[in-house]
Amino acid sequence: MSISQDYTDYIAWDRLPHMWCPGCGNGIALKGLALALAKQGIPRHKVLMATGIGCSGRAGSYVSFHSFDGTHGRTIAFCTGINVAQPDLKIVAFLGDGDCGAIGGNHLLHAARRNNDLTVLEINNFTYGMTGGQFSPTTPAHSFSSTSKHGKVDYGMDMCYLVAEAGANYVASTTVYHTAQLNKFINEAISTRGFSFVEIASPCPTYYGRHNNLRSAPEMMEWFKERALPKEKYDELTIEEKQKYIMRGRLVQRDREDFLTMYMNELNNE
C-alpha cells in the first residue's frame, strides 16, 4: 500500500453517513486522528482503530484501516495483546468516558503502569449516550442526567491526573472546540512510544446538554470555550471548583521505556 498523505484516505466514505447525532463531537476527534495519521504518513495497514461500546464504539466502521470493536471496558486490555503481537502497528483506542473511567478503569490504569505502546483517545461527553444519557464517572457533581434527576451526588473523575500518576508517557486534555490544540495533542500522542492518553471533552447536546440547559451544539461549544482553563489556572482551583471546569493542556511528556522494550532489555541483561 502506498504512503497516505491525505487525511481523507483514512475515512471509509462508503460507510457514511455516520450514525452520530447532529452536534456530536466524535467526528471532530476522528478527523483529528485522520489528520495526524496523514501528517505522519502512516500506511493504512499499519494502524488500528480500537473501540469499545457506546457511541464512540462505532468509529471503527468509518475508517478505511484495521478496526477492532471489543467488549465494554476491555478494549485497552485487548490492545496490550495486539501490541505485543504487532509492535510496529500504530494502535489507537477511541473510547468513551464510561469505557475508560468506569468499566475499564482497571485496564486503563494497568496499561498506563506497564506503559504499553498504545494511544488512548478518551472522548469525554460526560454521559452514557448510547443507553440514554445516564451519568458517567466524569459527569461533574450536581449535574443532571437520566439517572441523576436531582443532581449527581458524587464527584467527576479526573482521568488525566489518574493516568499520569499510573505512569503514562504522554497525557494531555482539551476539547473539540479547541481544534488546533486537539489536532496537535493527537499528533503528539501517536508519535509517543509507550502509553499516551488524550482526554477530549466532546459535546452531547442530545443527552448531557439537554439535561443541563445546553440544548444545542453551539451552546455546548460556548460552554467548552468558557469552561476550559489552561492547566496552570485549572491547577489553582479547589476540588469543588474543578467540577465546573475542564482542564486544557499537557500534563506529561516523558520517555520511559515501554513494556516491550523493557521486557526485551531485561532478557538481554540476564
Partner 1 sequence: MSKFFVEGNVASALGAIKAGARFFAGYPISPASELAEYCSQEMPKVGGIYMQMEDEIASMAAVIGASLGGMKAFTATSGPGMSLMQENIGYASMVEAPCVIINVQRFGLSTGVATSPGQSDIMQARWGRHGDQSIIALTPSSVQGCFDLTVEAFNLAERFSSPVMVLFEASIAHLRERINILESEELHLIERKKPDVSPEDYKPYKPDERGVPRLSYYGSEHILKTTGLVHTETGNISSDARVCAALVERLERKIEDYQDELPPPKYYGTKDAETVLVSFGISSRAAREAVYRANLAGISAGLIELQTVWPFPEKAIAQYLSKALRVIVVEMNRGQVTREIERVVSRNLVDPLLRTDTNIFYPHDILDKIKEVHDI
SS3 160: helix
* Shortest distance in whole angstroms from residue 51 CB to partner 1: 9
Does residue number 79 form part of the binding site for partner 1 (CB under 8 A)?
A: yes
* Shortest distance in whole angstroms from residue 58 CB to partner 1: 8
Q: Which of 25, 32, 54, 70 binds partner 1 (CB under 8 A)?
A: 70
Does residue number 106 form part of the binding site for partner 1 (CB under 8 A)?
A: yes
* Shortest distance in whole angstroms from residue 70 CB to partner 1: 7
Q: Which of 5, 235, 263, 265 binds partner 1 (CB under 8 A)?
A: 263
Cis peptide bond prior to 17, omega within 30° of 0 = yes
* Shortest distance in whole angstroms from residue 107 CB to partner 1: 5
Nearest to 62 by CA among 93, 121, 17: 17
Does residue number 193 form part of the binding site for partner 1 (CB under 8 A)?
A: no
Report how far apart, in Å, the C-alpha atoms of 53 and of each of 1, 20, 22, 72, 102 are.
Answer: 30, 14, 20, 5, 12
Contacts of residue 187, defined as CB under 8 A and 6 or more positions apart, other chains included, come to: 35, 36, 39, 40
Does residue number 269 form part of the binding site for partner 1 (CB under 8 A)?
A: no
Q: For partner 1, which is the closer residue by CB, 241 or 266?
A: 266
Nearest to 175 by CA among 200, 138, 197: 200
Distance of alpha carbon 73 from alpha carbon 10, whole angstroms:
25
**Which positions touch partner 1 (CB under 8 A)?**
1, 15, 44-46, 48, 58, 60-61, 64-71, 74-75, 77-86, 88-89, 106-107, 109-110, 260, 263, 267
